Amino acid sequence: MSAPVLYLSHGAPPLADDERWTAELAAWSADLEKPTNILIVSAHWEDAPTTLGSTTGAPLTYDFWGFPQHYYEVSYDAPGAPDLADDVTGLLTTTGVVAASEVHRDEARGLDHGAYVPLKEMFPDADVPVLQMSMPTLDPRGLFEVGRRLAPLRDQGTMIVGSGFTTHNLRWFNPGGGADVVPPAASAEFDQWADEAMRAHDVDSLLDFLDKAPAAHEAHPRTEHFAPLFVTLGAAYESSGLTNQSVIDGFWFGLSKRSWQFG
């Protein structure tokens, strides 16, 4: 059986302090068969040409500022995945997505918080090899095609994970309001639309979300946090027809943390 594909909302480093959300992530992973390895695409790494992160154990990338010191002392020593890096390169370069010279390696770049924050909750033993891949574009159809080309990895036990946030407008973020504050109407409307589009398997509308979704430009003033979804849609589409389940829902400081599993 092919490994599932996940799109998850990853939160900021303080997600680790949210007992409800961490429990939801832990319960999710408990229902999953342990993958051979994980290929993760995070909202926090845009780099063209496509670039693959460290396979040799580079330190984590603390790509955030102004947080208490203990968030910069978190570790997650998952093994690298050099064989997976070779397979990703092969799939992207032999199928015409990119030229062979355009898949780069960056052995100095460790996992960023879009990768290690959720993985630390889901696979706390850090015993599953992980490879992070950059997003070479934010174009939904371009990312969908990348995911489609990577879909064969699932047959060898690779779990493909897109890590973003179903709504992401930091102007809504009010720490004083608490994690359970009532979300802005625009966040709730976009979340409902995304849930309904996914239930309807409406790939075309999802790919065209900026024109089809209510409050899309408010929910995503910049689209990098929704963009990882399109890699996962591509990786899941042909084998599952977009069969999915919404595993986590609700809001965190007004932002939708809805997350899906495909397959």
Query: Domain of 111: which CATH number?
Result: 3.40.830.10
Nearest Cα neighbor of 158 from 147, 171, 173 is: 147
* Burial of 153 (C-beta count, 10 Å sphere; 0-12/13-18/19+): buried
CA 130 – CA 37 distance, rounded (Å): 6
* Burial of 55 (C-beta count, 10 Å sphere; 0-12/13-18/19+): buried
The pair phi, psi for residue 157, each rounded to 5°, is 95, 10
Give me the tens of pLDDT residue by residue for the chain, a chain 263 residues long. Answer: 699 999 999 989 999 999 999 999 999 999 999 999 999 999 999 999 999 999 999 999 999 999 999 999 999 999 999 999 999 999 998 766 665 558 899 999 999 999 999 999 999 999 999 999 999 999 999 999 999 999 999 999 999 999 999 999 999 988 888 999 999 999 999 999 999 999 999 999 999 999 999 999 999 999 999 999 999 999 998 766 677 899 999 999 999 999 999 98
In a domain, 186, yes or no: no
Q: What is the pLDDT of residue 101?
A: 52
In a domain, 109, yes or no: yes
Q: What is the pLDDT of residue 243?
A: 79
Q: What is the pLDDT of residue 173?
A: 85
Residue 18 structural domain: 5-181+223-262
Q: Are 144 and 230 in contact (CB under 8 A)?
A: yes
Q: Which helix (H) or strand (E) holds 211?
A: helix 209-212
Q: What is the pLDDT of residue 176?
A: 82
In a domain, 189, yes or no: no
Structurally, the chain folds into a number of domains equal to 1
Exposure string of 76-101, with b = 16+ CB inside 10 Å and e = fewer, is bebebbbebbebbbebbbeeebbeee
Distances (CA, A) of 50 to 8, 47, 81, 176, 214: 21, 6, 17, 39, 31
In a domain, 192, yes or no: no
In a domain, 245, yes or no: yes
Q: What is the pLDDT of residue 206?
A: 97
Q: What is the pLDDT of residue 227?
A: 98
In a domain, 191, yes or no: no
Angle at 157 between CA 207 and CA 45, to 5 degrees: 45
In a domain, 81, yes or no: yes
Q: What is the pLDDT of residue 186?
A: 98
